[in-house]
Amino acid sequence: MKLNAFVIEDEPMARKNLIKTLKVHFPDISVIGSSDSVAGSVEWLKTHNGDDAAHPAPHVIFMDVELSDGNAFQIFDMVDINAHVIMTTAYDNYAVKAFEVNSLDYLLKPIEIDSLRRAIGRAESMAELPSSVRKPVQVPPSSRKTKFLVRLNDRILPVNTRDIAYFYSEAKSSYIVTYDSHSYVLDDSLDTIEQSLDHDKFFRISRNCIISEDAIDSVTKLMGSRLRLTPRKGITAYTDLTVSRARVDNFMSWLEE
């Protein structure tokens, strides 16, 4: 299977060498773009999200961590990433963070060809799976959170999970929105939150939002194969409740279960 790749690397020579290595040793990998910065990567990914055939989305992203204008993990807070991410860095202290954002592999520079072959093999295997199979791993009942602690001024309050309509992130912060439309700040990232939820009841519709099935009133089809969700009466939509194109099939399967 031919895979489209996007390379994020701030060192010109390292970027050039990686692209050349992919071209020479991995003919099934087609590099369709590259960037040296957080801002440039976000801009490119927003226009290559799969909605436009002229701007195809990448299947895999090779991502350096320390970029010219910041840290690559900032990208995950600013744009929905549905591609498989392979981290490429000279530092080993980002490994835990890399796997928190579901990176497929973590390669230390200088990158060995065998390590690169292993990572690309994983990406190819995942790409060959039907979209309905590529679902988040279900959380064991014993690990699911029944409540979240939130900050309200100088107080810390418990909010029961059954009272939560959706979670969303904005400007590097995460929020809970309850069925009575109260909004609270959370310290955890959406990636961490997702890992503690019952996936039969909650679904991550985009990089920035996780919604409860009971909070959904109706679903509207949009252009570009996306879906717009309307929350039940009384629930305020503080964020965009649109199912990203890459998650539509899994979302519809989840909704029908």
Q: Enumerate residue ranges in the chain where pLDDT < 50.
A: 129-135, 137
Of the candidates 170, 191, 245, 243, the one whose C-alpha atom is nearest the C-alpha of residue 213 is 243
Q: What is the pLDDT of residue 222?
A: 84
Is the fold of 3-128 the same as that of 141-256?
A: no
DSSP string, 229-248: EEEPTT----S--EE-GGGH
In eight-state DSSP terms, residue 56 is: P
Domain boundaries along the sequence of the chain: 3-128, 141-256
pLDDT per position as a tens digit, 134-166:
445 455 555 688 999 888 877 888 999 999 999
Q: In degrees rounded to 5, what are phi and psi of residue 39?
A: -60, -45
CATH number belonging to the domain at 3-128, selected among 3.30.500.10, 3.40.50.2300, 3.30.360.10, 3.40.50.10420: 3.40.50.2300
Chain center to CA of 253? 19
Q: What is the pLDDT of residue 81?
A: 84
The 10 Å Cβ neighbour count of residue 158 is 9
- Domain 141-256 is in which class? mainly beta
Long-range contacts of 18-24 (CB under 8 A, 24+ apart): 18/62, 18/88, 18/111, 21/111, 21/113, 21/116
Q: What is the pLDDT of residue 31?
A: 96
Q: What is the pLDDT of residue 122?
A: 86
Q: What is the pLDDT of residue 142?
A: 55
Per-residue b or e along 181-219, where b marks 16 or more CB atoms closer than 10 Å to that residue's CB? eeebebeebbbebbbebebeebbbbbbbbbbbeebbeee
